[in-house]
Chain A
Amino acid sequence: MALEVSRFVAELEFSETLLGWMLGLLLFAGALHVRIEDLRAQAWTIGLMATLGVALSTVVVGVGFSWVTGMPLLVALTFGALISPTDPVAVLGVLKEADLPKTLETKIAGESLFNDGVGYVVFLVLVGIAFPRPDSHAPHDVAGVALFFLQEAGGGALLGGILGWLVFQVMKRIDDYPLEVLLSLGLAFGGYELAIALHVSGPIMAVVAGLFIGDVGMKHGMSVETRKYLDAFWKLVDEILNAVLFLLIGVEVFVVTFSADFLSAGVAAIALALLARFAAVFVPVSLLRLFRSYDKGVVPIMTWGGLKGGISVALALSLPDSEWKPMILTATYTVVLFSIIIQGLTIAPLAKRLGREPEML
């Protein structure tokens, strides 16, 4: 029976399901609930962590993993790129009870939204370089990479902004909540597909569009009733998709190869991922500490709370087949499982202990 289930799970095409539409919806829903003023207040922190942080994390894991397993550096770097994005879902759900300051919550949510988008683009670039296909149009030189980034990230943001604005203009003239929710669905689904067709970043498009509608859209284009329904609808979409996503992660174990080597590589990966996450948090925060102050517990909370989730598993599964893929899959899976179960369940008590700051007078 296990063989049939294995085959079934393998055929689930977890990667395409997730990367295809779940990711777009999840990011849109997540961005919908973030207020732009809150984001702007943390802009430098989030921006630096989502870019410099992702780069640092990729390199730390890549170099370390290559050294530990003997994997070629480029391949190890693709592993570094896919293991760097964090998944806010589990963290935010669990941290609700820890009663964190709003600024920290925004940092975690905001960073998570953007590092998914950035990590994805970095991953695409590295895969193109590490596994070159004759017909591939992935860039190989520095100028090409920079251009690729600009096109993907910039294009995605631009598209998200334009589509978000267009939908907002329509919503402003309508006061009918089922219709407005339908419009937001159209924006999320349609916008994501359009982004892919135009070769720009779907994830980034979803985040920008979600931010727009969630902030400007809600403030100036919706009645109180619509706001309530839109909020509730997307919150439910978020929760349900996450439930299914975590179910999928749970059964992916059928596709993972268990061997002593791979498992020890997995354990090494856990340690490396934590170290990399620490670097990704510590360096930007230390740099910015020269200009502003931070709550005491920021670094440990954001390090330990940097949970890896579905997107890492999906990216690992989407790798072209190679001799290293099974090891990468096992390592990814081990890290994700550890981070969600062990880190996920202990972050709330940790945060409660560290975040307990007497209110500033």
Chain B
Amino acid sequence: MNTLQIASLLIVFAGAFGAINYLFFRLPSAIGILVVAFLASLAVLALDWFVP
């Protein structure tokens, strides 16, 4: 993946998680993005554990 693709991916996810936070969690923006990203990551890890 080149730098531009990575940058695009990051920006898209930051925006998406920010929106999710705003609509569902109402935490301050930056903190909210961290929480959603963390939960999403844990979800991926958990999914991988159950469905190898």
Contacts and interface: CB of A to CB of B under 8 A. Distances in A.
A250 B30 contact: no
Contact of A1 (B14, B27, B31, B47): B47
Interface string A309-327: 0000000000000000000
Interface residues of B, number: 28
Interface stretch (A47-55, A62-70, A112-120, A336-344): A336-344
Nearest to A12: B6
B31 A90 contact: yes
A344 B41 contact: no
Nearest to A96: B28
A242 interface: yes
Contacts of A1: 44, 47-48
Contacts of A244: 10-11, 14
Nearest to A2: B48
Given A2-B47, A5-B44, A251 B37 contact: yes
B10 A247 contact: yes
A246 B48 contact: no
Nearest to B45: A2
Interface in B27-46: 27-31, 33-38, 40-42, 44-45
Contacts of B18: 243
Question: Could you say which of A1, A3, A243, A344 has the most chain B C-beta atoms within 10 Å of its C-beta?
Answer: A243
B45 A341 contact: no
Contact of A93 (B28, B34, B44): B28
A12 B7 CA distance: 10
B6 to A, nearest CB: 7
Contacts of B47: 1-2
A340 B45 contact: no
A254 interface: yes
B37 A250 contact: yes
Contacts of A248: 10
A344 B28 contact: yes
A162 interface: no
A243 B33 contact: yes
A63 to B, nearest CB: 30
Interface of B: 1, 6, 10-11, 13-15, 17-18, 27-31, 33-38, 40-42, 44-45, 47-49
Interface of A: 1-3, 5, 8, 12, 89-90, 93-94, 239-240, 242-251, 253-254, 337, 340-341, 344-345
24 contacts: A2-B48, A5-B41, A12-B6, A90-B28, A90-B31, A93-B30, A93-B31, A239-B29, A243-B15, A243-B29, A243-B33, A247-B17, A247-B34, A248-B10, A249-B37, A250-B40, A251-B37, A251-B41, A254-B44, A337-B34, A340-B31, A344-B28, A345-B28, A345-B31
